[in-house]
């Protein structure tokens, strides 16, 4: 039997990673919530998650030297995944203020909809084949966000949702992947995404 | 399109579900996280844990409940009740609550909303407003505060609230339907989602709240009496054409 895969959850001090850690345990991983760049560098998979603003999150990553550890991973082709604000952190400038890591090109923009935050369950519509979203095309997952990524290369998006217009729900590009929704709060489809994430990181 | 949400609310005192559940169910369901997990299995879209502990000394257990809920639940949940300061709200969020619902403390000190939104994001900050005859009331409805709920809702959103939980004290417990007029007026006044609360008796009432523009509807006694009512409600709402999570 395969051992549990270590997943480093980069803890930049914004909110709570407990729900995600528990969900990763259920998915078969051994999550470690950490501020240690060496742990983030060494784990088979590093995940950026949490809540709050891109600006304070980016500052939190830098404070601990986690930004460098994450950049080095990506440069070496080793997997990094972002969840919610973590996805936004992979991109560049945010309309909320501040800048992400710029690992993927494109801005983070405020949602242009009558109701913001986009809050609740919404239906994933796959735009291409995806390792993370295998088996969840058309499933409802939970969103809670006011900003969203707009990849400069639209082909990076693997799924969108409709919130008075198309909103990018997930991206994949080589060793980088991310989802705007909360898999740890998305019942069975969310669990499937986390299992897919672990499988993806083993093959990335 | 984002789905309409059906949200059971659990009243918790000193770490136990204390009312709204008949005696047999209480014995059968045990404690808050077990009951919450059961509602989750039955299709609840979110949950609210409302701490109605009467004493300050009794407030400790809610954090333990929230931490276990964070571990065990796979749907989002809000913690509310008894939040008097930013520190209380922060404790609940750091314990793993996805959102906090703040009522009187936010009314008395609106800057709380801004502080929490700055730290955790607006999506984590719910402003709970109790209203009677359109006026804000606090202290379980006993104290009128001389301000229109619509007006306060608008300010709360400007201050950082990402959602409004609007409870009509007039309708609460009547099972005769939500206060649709007030719901509509608050929905029109703010751009964040509004959760209608107080007065749910049947699926038609939730449908009316959605038609009034509410994104979500809180329910309590109707599902506590018979949890199997929850999937029935959702099926009836879907049948009536409302987008429900599958």
Question: Which domains occur in chain B, in start order?
Answer: 5-239 (3.20.20.70)
Residue of chain B whose alpha carbon sits nearest to that of A138: B246
Angle formed at CA A120 by CA A119 and CA A122, multiple of 5 degrees: 115
Structure tokens at B87: 């520190």
Residue B25 has pLDDT above 60, yes or no: no
Let me know if A184 is a catalytic residue. yes
Q: How confident is the model at residue A12 (pLDDT cuts 50, 70, 90)?
A: confident
* CATH of A5-203 among 3.90.580.10, 3.40.50.880, 3.30.465.10, 3.40.980.10: 3.40.50.880
Residue A63 has pLDDT above 80, yes or no: yes
| Nearest one of A80, A70, A111, A85 to A15, comparing CA atoms | A85
- Domain positions in chain A are 5-203
Let me know if A145 is a catalytic residue. no
- For the segment B56-81, the average pLDDT, to the nearest whole number, is 93
Residue B29 has pLDDT above 70, yes or no: no
Residue B27 has pLDDT above 50, yes or no: no
A148-171 confidence digits (pLDDT tens): 999 999 999 999 999 999 999 999
CB contact, 8 Å: A146 with chain B? yes
Residue A30 has pLDDT above 50, yes or no: yes
| Cross-chain residue pair A140–B245, CB shorter than 8 Å | yes
Residue bearing tokens 């922060």: B90
- In terms of phi and psi (left: phi > 0; alpha: psi -120 to 50; beta: otherwise), the region of A170 is beta
B119-156 confidence digits (pLDDT tens): 899 999 999 999 999 999 998 899 999 999 999 999 99
What DSSP line would sit under B157-212, residue for residue?
Answer: HHHT-SEEEEEETTTTTT-S---HHHHHHHHHH-SS-EEEES---SHHHHHHHHHT
| Cross-chain residue pair B118–A53, CB shorter than 8 Å | yes
CB contact, 8 Å: B119 with chain A? yes
CB contact, 8 Å: B197 with chain A? no
- For the segment B175-204, the average pLDDT, to the nearest whole number, is 97
User: Could you give the percent of chain B with pLDDT greater than 70?
Assistant: 95
Task: Quote the pLDDT of residue A1.
Answer: 46
CB atoms within 10 A of CB A132: 24
Q: Which 160-179 residues of chain A touch chain B by CB within 8 A?
A: 161-163
Indicate if ipTM > 0.90: yes
Residue B164 has pLDDT above 50, yes or no: yes
Residue of B11, B45, B170, B208 marked catalytic? B11
Q: How confident is the model at residue A15 (pLDDT cuts 50, 70, 90)?
A: low
Let me know if B130 is a catalytic residue. yes
Across the interface, of A56, A118, A142, the residue whose CB is closest to B76 is: A142
Structure tokens at B105: 């403390």
| Cross-chain residue pair A182–B76, CB shorter than 8 Å | yes
| Nearest one of B3, B109, B92 to B50, comparing CA atoms | B92
Which residues on chain A are in Cβ contact (under 8 Å) with B117? none
| Cross-chain residue pair B76–A185, CB shorter than 8 Å | yes
Chains A, B: CB contacts within 8 A come to 114
Q: State the virtual CA torsion across A126, A130, A131, A136 in degrees, nearest 10.
A: 10
Task: Quote the pLDDT of residue B60.
Answer: 83
Q: How confident is the model at residue B10 (pLDDT cuts 50, 70, 90)?
A: very high
Residue of A84, A118, A172, A195 marked catalytic? A84
User: Could you give the percent of chain B with pLDDT greater than 90?
Assistant: 82
Residue B33, Cβ density class (10 Å: 0-12 exposed, 13-18 middle, ≥19 buried): buried
- For the segment A53-77, the average pLDDT, to the nearest whole number, is 94
Task: Quote the pLDDT of residue B23.
Answer: 43
Eight-state DSSP code of residue B122? G
């Amino acid at each position: 039997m395969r051992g549990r895969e270590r997943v480093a959850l980069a803890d930049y001090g914004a909110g709570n990673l407990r729900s995600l850690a528990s969900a990763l345990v259920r998915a078969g991983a051994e999550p470690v919530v950490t501020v240690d760049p060496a742990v983030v560098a060494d784990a088979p998979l590093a995940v950026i998650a949490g809540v709050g603003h891109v600006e304070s999150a980016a500052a939190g990553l830098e404070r601990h030297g986690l930004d460098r550890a994450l950049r080095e991973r990506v440069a070496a082709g080793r997997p990094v995944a972002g969840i919610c604000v973590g996805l936004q952190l992979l991109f560049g400038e945010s309309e909320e203020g501040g800048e992400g890591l710029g690992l993927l090109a494109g801005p983070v923009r405020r949602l242009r909809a009558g109701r913001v935050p986009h809050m609740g369950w919404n239906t994933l519509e796959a735009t291409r084949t995806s390792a993370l979203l295998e088996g969840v095309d058309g499933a409802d997952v939970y969103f809670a966000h006011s900003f969203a990524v707009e990849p400069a290369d639209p082909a990076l998006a693997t799924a969108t949702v409709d919130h008075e217009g198309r909103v990018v729900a997930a991206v994949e590009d080589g060793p980088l992947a991310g989802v705007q929704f909360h898999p740890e709060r998305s019942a069975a489809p969310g669990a499937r995404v986390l299992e897919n994430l672990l499988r993806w990181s083993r093959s990335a | 399109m984002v789905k309409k949400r059906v949200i059971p609310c659990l009243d918790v005192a000193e770490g136990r579900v204390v009312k709204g559940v008949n005696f047999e169910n209480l014995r059968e369901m045990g404690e808050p996280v077990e009951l919450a997990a059961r509602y989750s299995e039955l299709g609840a879209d979110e949950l609210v844990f409302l701490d109605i502990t009467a004493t300050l000394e009794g407030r400790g257990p809610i954090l333990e409940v929230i931490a276990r809920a964070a571990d065990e639940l796979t749907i989002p949940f809000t913690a509310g009740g008894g939040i008097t300061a930013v520190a209380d709200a922060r404790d609940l969020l750091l314990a793993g609550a996805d959102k906090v619902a703040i009522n009187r403390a936010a009314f008395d000190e609106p800057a709380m909303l801004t502080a929490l939104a700055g730290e955790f994001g607006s999506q984590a900050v719910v402003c709970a407003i109790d209203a009677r005859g359109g006026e804000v009331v606090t202290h379980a409805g006993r104290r009128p505060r001389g301000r229109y709920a619509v007006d306060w809702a608008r300010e709360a959103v400007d201050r950082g609230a990402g959602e409004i939980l609007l409870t009509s004290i007039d309708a609460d417990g009547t099972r005769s339907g939500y206060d649709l007029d007030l719901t509509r007026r608050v929905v029109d006044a703010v751009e964040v989602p509004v959760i209608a609360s107080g007065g749910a008796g049947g699926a038609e009432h939730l449908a009316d709240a959605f038609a009034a523009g509410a994104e979500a509807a809180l329910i309590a006694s109707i599902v506590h009496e018979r949890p199997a009512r929850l999937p029935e409600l959702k099926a009836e709402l879907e049948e009536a054409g409302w987008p429900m999570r599958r």
